């Protein structure tokens, strides 16, 4: 009895046989099929990962930092020390409202006191005077103040004038043009004045009971930021909130996620096509090695060693094709970003190794699912085939062949979509379509057999091969039919995706918004607007207000720490009023009021309507008293 060959010896033998058979057609088909599948998956993976990274980087610039601890009181010393212990970069800002007074008038302004480290992300920009070129740099020095351009005409200021912020006189030295962390603050109606944090105490504005926002800003490696967040969250007080870029980019991420899933589904077509090519070439690969398998069995190799030998050959092909495909996919995404450079952010971070590893994994899973079942026949070749060429191995179970392919396909679908419902829906729909199309193909072949009975010889010879092996012919036709069906589905989804994005906004959605129109300017503004536009929206009054109680109970009893309502209870809500339901608004429950109830009636309490999602978060229902 022959001793078992060591693994290194089997690997060497597999490599030598593979080099000898490298010119075989089925090996080339197998190699290039995997190459295309891995390249497509890797390219789309890199594209999505780098776009996500660019979006997240841009979002951190909108915050001015990677992580922010915000509260209405200063952070406790241990909360700040924890960040410094983790060697995170730190900046501190304080925001409050105050009045800027000059001889020409007074103006309510938003005062922002910053330290020398601000901002940690993005750029702070200012100009030497009105309408001059802006420059990036650090904030104002002690004794200086910067102001937005709209403050200058409001109180007749110019650069070099002195202003009083509380009890502290400051010199106005520059025009503030851009703050990275103010982007998207739609309802910031008051002009900004920026001062140095060292001057804050001297202003005397911040007193007990003042409405102030304290922000501790942090930036650093993702691991350190995650550790800081994990350590700080249990210590947060009711007025404190910790947030990063992911907390504010769900809408952008949702749109990008839909596009990325669509691209992944498109790459699935390439994987399906590669899978069919792998299955066909692997069947040919196995059939051409029946004699070699029988000879190896006669020379003393066990069934397991024979299977290991040919599996190693397949693994070598898979690894070489996967490595080459990953490199090709990486180059392809570089070309894609070069073509789209005018449409994408200037700074796009690298994608790392994960997309390449995921693409290689996709190729190897496809190889295992589609190629191993045909290869299993090599382990069942009888040694007697050396003498009798008609001896064939027992065919593999159909359940094994199709089950392995479906399992591999399901894994790939889940990896590309990360959605179990979508994965099962696609698999289920594919199986149903395969059964229906397969039955129709077999019926068509049986009908063709009857039609060819009286046909001429060329027709009978040309189509006789299909009729001699109807299951194989139906299987191959079905495989390519499903691929064409998938390509048609992808083309249909492309149109649906674009239509969905376009339909998210109505055709007459406004693209300009006007805020802070004074009552004395209302009529003139409305007349001017009516001349410029045939359909102009009415002006609505907006005043700030706070929700304090629901049915006599403090509103804090109705919210959880991570709910949308919890944030709404800690800030001003925008209150407005109207006699009729405004255009574009829809009632989801209740009725619009017709008139205020007269005093002395059984219920003279005025009615109020509330935004649906906020009502759901605060568990407000019809009949509640706010």
Q: What is the pLDDT of residue 88?
A: 93
Pair of tokens at residue 381 = 């070749």
Residue 49, domain member (yes or no)? yes
- Residues counted in the chain: 626
Residue 192 CB contacts under 8 Å (≥ 6 apart), including other chains: 109, 110, 111, 112, 147, 148, 151, 176, 179, 182
- Let me know the angle formed at the C-alpha of 313 by 309 and 316, rounded to the nearest 5 degrees: 135
Asked whether residue 486 falls in the same domain as residue 533, the answer is: no
Pair of tokens at residue 219 = 């930036």
Confidence of residue 400 (pLDDT cuts 50, 70, 90): low
**543 vs 574: CA distance, rounded Å:** 6
**Based on the number of CB atoms within 10 Å of its own CB, is 383 exposed (0-12), middle (13-18) or buried (19 or more)?**
middle
Asked whether residue 539 falls in the same domain as residue 492, the answer is: no
Whole-Å CA distances, 363 to 104, 185, 420: 73, 46, 20
Query: For residue 602, is pLDDT > 70?
Result: no
Whole-Å CA distances, 14 to 24, 146, 272, 393: 15, 74, 28, 21
Residue 50, domain member (yes or no)? yes
- The 8 Å CB, 24+ separation contacts for 477-484 are 477/441, 478/434, 478/437, 478/438, 478/441, 479/276, 479/279, 480/276, 481/437, 481/441, 482/272, 482/430, 482/433, 482/434, 482/437, 483/269, 483/272, 483/273, 483/276
Q: What is the pLDDT of residue 1?
A: 44
Kindly give the pairing relationship between strand 105-114 and strand 89-102. antiparallel
Asked whether residue 480 falls in the same domain as residue 553, the answer is: no
Residue 595, domain member (yes or no)? no
Q: How many domains does the chain have?
A: 4
Cα dihedral sign for 541, 542, 545, 546? positive
Query: Do 219 and 67 contact (CB within 8 A), yes or no?
Result: yes
Chain position carrying tokens 């190729």: 363
Residue where one domain finishes, among candidates 364, 387, 418: 418
Query: For residue 588, is pLDDT > 50?
Result: yes
Strand partners, 70: 215, 241
**37 vs 326: CA distance, rounded Å:** 10
Asked whether residue 173 falls in the same domain as residue 264, the answer is: no
**618 vs 605: CA distance, rounded Å:** 21
Asked whether residue 313 falls in the same domain as residue 335, the answer is: yes
Helix (H, G, I), strand (E, B) or coil at 569: coil
Query: Do 344 and 337 contact (CB within 8 A), yes or no?
Result: yes
Confidence of residue 27 (pLDDT cuts 50, 70, 90): confident
Average pLDDT over residues 555-560: 70
Query: Do 15 and 344 contact (CB within 8 A), yes or no?
Result: no
**551 vs 338: CA distance, rounded Å:** 59
Query: Do 184 and 218 contact (CB within 8 A), yes or no?
Result: no
Confidence of residue 365 (pLDDT cuts 50, 70, 90): confident
Residue 572, domain member (yes or no)? yes
Residue 412, domain member (yes or no)? yes
- Let me know the angle formed at the C-alpha of 382 by 378 and 386, rounded to the nearest 5 degrees: 100
The proportion of the chain whose per-residue pLDDT surpasses 90, expressed as a percent, equals: 13
**254 vs 260: CA distance, rounded Å:** 10
Kindly give the pairing relationship between strand 89-102 and strand 134-137. unpaired
Shortest CA distance to 367 belongs to which of 416, 324, 408? 408
**626 vs 100: CA distance, rounded Å:** 35
Asked whether residue 341 falls in the same domain as residue 456, the answer is: no
Asked whether residue 463 falls in the same domain as residue 529, the answer is: no
Query: Do 578 and 596 contact (CB within 8 A), yes or no?
Result: no
Residue 237, domain member (yes or no)? no
Residue where one domain finishes, among candidates 170, 196, 219: 219
Query: Do 51 and 347 contact (CB within 8 A), yes or no?
Result: no
Shortest CA distance to 536 belongs to which of 522, 548, 557, 556? 522
Query: Do 233 and 242 contact (CB within 8 A), yes or no?
Result: yes
Asked whether residue 514 falls in the same domain as residue 489, the answer is: no
Domain housing 491:
437-504
Whole-Å CA distances, 245 to 55, 115, 219, 240: 9, 22, 12, 17
Asked whether residue 109 falls in the same domain as residue 188, the answer is: yes
Question: ω into residue 119 within 30 of 0, thus cis?
Answer: yes
Query: Do 66 and 328 contact (CB within 8 A), yes or no?
Result: no
Residue 268, domain member (yes or no)? yes
Asked whether residue 262 falls in the same domain as residue 294, the answer is: yes
Strand partners, 140: none
pLDDT in tens, 32-65: 888 888 888 888 888 877 877 777 777 777 788 8
Kindly give the pairing relationship between strand 105-114 and strand 192-196. parallel
pLDDT in tens, 70-97: 888 899 999 999 999 999 999 999 998 8
Q: What is the pLDDT of residue 503?
A: 66
Q: What is the pLDDT of residue 187?
A: 44
**Based on the number of CB atoms within 10 Å of its own CB, is 22 exposed (0-12), middle (13-18) or buried (19 or more)?**
exposed
Query: For residue 134, is pLDDT > 50?
Result: yes
pLDDT in tens, 108-129: 888 999 999 999 988 899 999 9
Q: What is the pLDDT of residue 114?
A: 94
**Strand stretches in 551-622, DSSP E:** 553-554, 573-575
Residue where one domain finishes, among candidates 200, 219, 238: 219
Q: What is the pLDDT of residue 184?
A: 47
Q: Which helix (H) or strand (E) holds 63?
A: helix 25-63
Residue 498, domain member (yes or no)? yes
Shortest CA distance to 314 belongs to which of 358, 373, 267? 373
pLDDT in tens, 421-451: 767 777 777 778 777 877 887 787 777 777 7
Q: Which helix (H) or strand (E) holds 417?
A: helix 398-417
Query: Do 465 and 258 contact (CB within 8 A), yes or no?
Result: no
**351 vs 371: CA distance, rounded Å:** 31
Asked whether residue 269 falls in the same domain as residue 413, the answer is: yes
Asked whether residue 268 falls in the same domain as residue 392, the answer is: yes
**127 vs 134: CA distance, rounded Å:** 4
Pair of tokens at residue 431 = 């199986």
**189 vs 59: CA distance, rounded Å:** 22
Strand partners, 112: 95, 194
Confidence of residue 191 (pLDDT cuts 50, 70, 90): confident
């Amino acid at each position: 009895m022959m001793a078992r060959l060591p693994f290194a010896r089997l690997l060497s033998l597999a490599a030598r046989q593979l080099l000898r058979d490298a010119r075989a057609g089925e090996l080339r088909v197998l190699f290039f099929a995997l190459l295309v599948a891995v390249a497509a998956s890797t390219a789309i993976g890199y594209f999505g990962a780098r776009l996500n990274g660019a979006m997240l980087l841009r979002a951190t610039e909108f915050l001015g930092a990677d992580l922010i601890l915000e509260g209405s009181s200063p952070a406790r010393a241990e909360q700040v020390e924890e960040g410094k212990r983790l060697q995170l970069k730190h900046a501190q800002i304080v925001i409050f409202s105050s009045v800027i007074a000059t001889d020409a008038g007074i103006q309510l302004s938003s005062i922002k006191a910053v330290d020398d480290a601000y901002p940690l992300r993005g750029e702070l920009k200012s100009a030497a005077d009105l309408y001059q070129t802006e420059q990036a740099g650090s904030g104002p020095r002690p004794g200086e103040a910067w102001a937005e351009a709209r403050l200058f005409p409001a109180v007749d200021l110019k650069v070099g004038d002195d202003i009083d912020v509380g009890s502290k006189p400051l010199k106005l030295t520059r025009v503030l043009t851009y703050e990275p962390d103010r982007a998207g603050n739609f309802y910031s109606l008051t002009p900004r004045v920026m001062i140095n944090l060292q001057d804050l105490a001297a202003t005397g504005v911040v007193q007990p009971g003042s409405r102030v926002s304290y922000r501790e800003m942090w930036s650093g490696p993702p691991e350190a930021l995650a550790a800081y967040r994990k350590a700080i969250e249990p210590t947060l007080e009711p007025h404190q909130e910790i947030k990063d870029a992911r907390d504010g980019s769900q809408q952008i991420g949702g749109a990008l996620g839909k596009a990325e899933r669509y691209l992944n589904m498109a790459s699935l077509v390439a994987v399906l096509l590669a899978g069919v090519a792998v299955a066909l070439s692997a069947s040919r690969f196995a059939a051409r090695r029946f004699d070699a398998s029988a000879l190896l069995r006669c020379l003393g190799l066990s069934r397991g060693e024979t299977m290991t030998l040919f599996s190693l050959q397949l693994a070598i092909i898979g690894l070489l094709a996967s490595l080459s495909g990953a490199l090709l996919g990486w180059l392809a995404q570089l070309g894609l970003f070069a073509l789209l450079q005018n449409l994408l952010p200037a700074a796009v971070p690298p994608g790392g190794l994960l997309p390449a590893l995921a693409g290689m994994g996709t190729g190897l899973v496809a190889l295992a699912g589609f190629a191993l079942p045909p290869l299993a026949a090599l382990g069942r070749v009888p040694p007697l085939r050396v003498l009798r060429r008609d001896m064939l191995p027992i065919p593999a179970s159909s359940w094994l062949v199709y089950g392995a392919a479906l399992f591999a396909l399901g894994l790939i679908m889940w990896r590309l979509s990360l959605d179990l419902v979508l994965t099962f829906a696609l698999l289920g729909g594919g199986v149903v379509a395969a059964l229906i199309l397969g039955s129709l193909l077999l019926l068509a072949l049986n009908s063709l057999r009857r039609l060819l009975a009286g046909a001429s010889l060329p027709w009978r010879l040309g189509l006789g091969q299909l009729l001699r092996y109807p299951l194989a012919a139906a299987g191959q036709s079905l495989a390519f039919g499903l691929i064409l069906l998938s390509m048609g589905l992808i083309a249909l989804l492309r149109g649906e995706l674009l239509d969905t994005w376009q339909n998210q906004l109505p055709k007459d959605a406004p693209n300009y918004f006007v805020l802070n129109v004074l009552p004395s300017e209302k009529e003139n503004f409305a007349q001017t607007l009516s001349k410029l536009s045939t359909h102009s929206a009415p002006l609505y009054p907006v005043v700030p207000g706070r929700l304090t109680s629901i049915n006599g109970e403090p509103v804090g009893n109705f919210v959880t720490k991570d709910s949308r309502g919890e944030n709404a209870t800690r800030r001003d809500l925008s209150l407005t009023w109207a006699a009729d339901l405004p255009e574009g608004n829809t009632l989801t429950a209740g009725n619009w009021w017709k008139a205020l109830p007269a005093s002395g009636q059984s219920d003279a309490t005025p009615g109020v309507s509330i935004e649906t999602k906020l009502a759901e978060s605060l568990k407000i229902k019809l009949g509640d008293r706010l």
